[in-house]
Structure 1
Amino acid sequence: MQDVLGMRDDAFVPTRRQPPTVRMRRLAAELLRLRRAAGLSQEDVAERTDVNVATLYRIETGKTKPQLRTLNALLDAYGVPRPDRDELTALQKDAGKRGLLNVPDSDLPEQYTIYINFEAEAREILNFETIFIPGLLQTSDYARAVISGVLQTATDDDVQLRVDARMQRQHLLTKEDGPRLWAVIDEAALHRLVGGPSVMQAQLCHLADQARNPRITIQVVPFSAGAHPGMPGSFIILRFDPIDPDIVYIDSMGGDLFLEQEAELIRHSMAFEHLRAVALSPADTAALLRSLCEDHH
């Protein structure tokens, strides 16, 4: 997966729809909780306000930011007191605040834009990869080779845009308040000759260097581990502040998925814990990466 969201050939249509943010998800979850606490159905709310059911659904699922007058109408219907109203109004005001990537939204696929905004607000990124080096740990040459190989009909400009975006995203790991990255990589990804010997050698040496970063933990699942829970495919778990639920992202040929159901979060969290347990320790992984770097020399 290696976070190539929207990298299918049909993803080049630009979009200007505002992507959801963590704050928007938080506001949506709180409005859903308040409606249920008031004992109201969506139809009840539609009868009491000028907010139709379709709009309410989009608000409660974080697909759209409510206008201030809409928010006030909902809070009136739910009988929300002043202190709580002030907090929710402030959340509505900030709901559109975005992540840190300085690439115009219209130039990137919608799913990629959604992901990079979530990623920029995460406090921890848990990434398991089967056949790629994780995107946040790729060199520019490796990233270019991967994107070119996956998107065979992409133009040079399309490829360069995605390479630039990926390199910018890596700045998150240098920020003092940026997320921590825990990457678990199947050993197969270390032996796939992406971009040729020199590109792969530079990539392996880069991984060895990154393994020394205190904000990054890297583990390799060795071939000797046999079958493991990650074999069905790669996935990323984004963890936020305790009040915001986690998100699981899965990229596949069938489409891009953002999973938020509790059962899915538990299943993928358990799989990641198992993968960490069967993988080489961070110290042994670092030694392996140094050895592979030297071997490629």
Structure 2
Amino acid sequence: MRLGLSWEFRVLSPSSHGATYGRTELVRKSHITTNGIAGTTGLDLGAHMVTKKRIDPHLRRFGAKIQRFREEAGLSQAEAAKMVNVTRSYIGQVERGITRCRKDFSERLGVALMRPEEVAEAWSELVRSAKYPQYFEDFASLESTAVLLRKYSADVVDGLLQVESYARVLLRAEDSVLARMKRQEILTREPTPMVCFILDESVLYREVGSPEIMNAQLNHLLEVSAWEKVCLQVAPTAYYRGVSGSFSIATQEDRDEAAYAGSAFGGETSEEAEQLLLVNEAFAVLQARARNVADTRTFIRRVLEERWT
């Protein structure tokens, strides 16, 4: 199955940064309907995912329960998907144990299958036991060996940059928090990869936990932004349709690449050339439109003083 991305951007805040050539190229290749980008972007990598070599037994058991509950309710995958506003293929992924669904999704699914208590119990017992979401497992492995990482965060600070208190607000399970902190060793391992982060500026204003946590988080961003192998930029916010969410690109020493795109219900990893071309173009344009490193540090300090002190 061939996949494509439908891109449409509308600039909310003007910016004097960036190159006309980069904007023109992205319009031509990605069908953007405006003449520039000032900030956020997201990607739908579709069904081209890296083949999963392992299926977590906890997720397999959870999926088997969901399949049984669905069949006992007399629903097809398509019917169940329509009731919870997802695709049929996503229901299939959950039932096969190849993706880890979020708690809020499992709650809606439980209601749709008329088994809210059983689904909630199964999610707490089985899904929370996975250290990494299964859909992220392959990319986490690629991330750990990459020589170059490029990451765009639309909603919250990237996991590699989160302080522990910030991460604890986002992650319920202790194992997940510990795993996230362990992942951050990527930034200090030898050989140290080059890591380029772009944050949507709304991330700096969005309270996670408390003002005290945000103060600690923004101070940490300032500290890490001074590291030799870290490039941190903040992009002005923009509105777009057709695509959504954060994304990451991992480049290996042999120049092989993979991209990961998050979504409200999970995420997908792709090594498809067509998708990689688009994410590379998107990141290049975002980087051109974002504040430079020095201006980013100044902006973070300003937000810290005005909002979180």
- TM-score bracket, normalised by the shorter chain, equals 0.5 to 0.7
Partner Cα separation in structure 2 for residue 147 and residue 173 of structure 1 = 21
Q: Which has the higher contact order (CA 8 A, sep 6+)?
A: 2
Question: Does structure 1 retain, via aligned residues, the 8 Å contact 2:198–2:235?
Answer: yes
Partner of 1:233: 245
Identity %: 30
Among candidates 206, 215, 235, match of residue 201 of structure 1: 215
- In the alignment, the residues of structure 2 paired with residue 255 and residue 283 of structure 1 have an alpha-carbon distance, to the nearest angstrom, of 34
Q: Does 1:13 align with 2:58?
A: yes
Query: How has the CA–CA distance of structure 1 residues 182 and 108 changed in structure 2, closer, same or farther, with 3 Å as cutoff?
Result: closer
The separation in 1 between residues aligned to 2:193 and 2:130, in whole angstroms, is 26
> Could you state the TM-score of these two structures normalised by the residue count of structure 2?
0.55
Q: CA deviation at 1:167?
A: 0.7
Contact 2:139 2:258 in 1 (8 A): no
What letter matches 2:135 in structure 1?
Answer: Q
Amino acid at match of 2:257: D
Of the candidates 161, 171, 175, which is equivalent to residue 137 of structure 1? 161
Q: After superposition, where does 1:1-297 map in structure 2 within 5 Å?
A: 13=58, 107-148=131-172, 159-223=173-237, 226-227=238-239, 232-242=244-254, 244-295=255-306, 296-297=308-309
Counterparts of 2:302 and 2:175, CA distance in 1 = 33
> How far apart are 1:230 and its partner, in Å?
11
How far residue 291 of structure 1 moved from its aligned partner, in angstroms, is 2.2
- Contact 1:128 1:184 (8 Å CA) reproduced: yes
Residues 82-108 of structure 1 show CA distances to partners (whole Å, capped at 9, x for unaligned) of xxxxxxxxxxxxxxxxxxxxxxx9644
Rounded Cα–Cα distance in structure 1 between residues aligned with 2:232 and 2:248 = 14
Q: Which residue of 2 aligns with 1:4?
A: none
Aligned residue type for 2:219: C
CA distance in 2, matches of 1:113, 1:271: 24
Structure of greater Rg: 1
- Displacement after TM superposition at 1:227 (Å): 4.4
1:247–1:195 Cα change, 3 Å: same
Secondary structure class of the residue paired with 1:238: strand
Q: Distance in 2 between matches of 1:196 and 1:273?
A: 33
Task: Please state how far the C-alpha of 1:253 moved relative to its aligned partner.
Answer: 2.7
Name the count of aligned residue pairs: 187
CA shift for structure 1 position 206? 0.6
Q: Deviations over 1:214-269 (max 9, x none)?
A: 1111100124xx44799732110111123x52001012134421111111000010
Q: Distance in 1 between matches of 2:300 and 2:241?
A: 23
* Structure 1: runs of 5 or more not aligned: 2-10, 16-104, 149-158
Residues 109 and 133 of structure 1: is their aligned pair in 2 closer, same or farther, counting only changes over 3 Å?
closer
Q: How has the CA–CA distance of structure 1 residues 125 and 245 changed in structure 2, closer, same or farther, with 3 Å as cutoff?
A: same
- Write the letter of the residue equivalent to 1:136: L
Equivalents in 1 of 2:249, 2:158: separation in Å? 13
Relative to structure 1, the CA distance from residue 230 to residue 137 in structure 2 (aligned partners, 3 Å threshold; closer, same or farther) is farther
Distance 2:285 2:243 in 1: 12
* Contact 1:131–1:186 (CA under 8 A) maintained in structure 2: yes
1:177 aligned partner, one-letter code? P
- TM-score, scaled to structure 1: 0.58
Distance 1:12 1:142, change over 3 A: farther
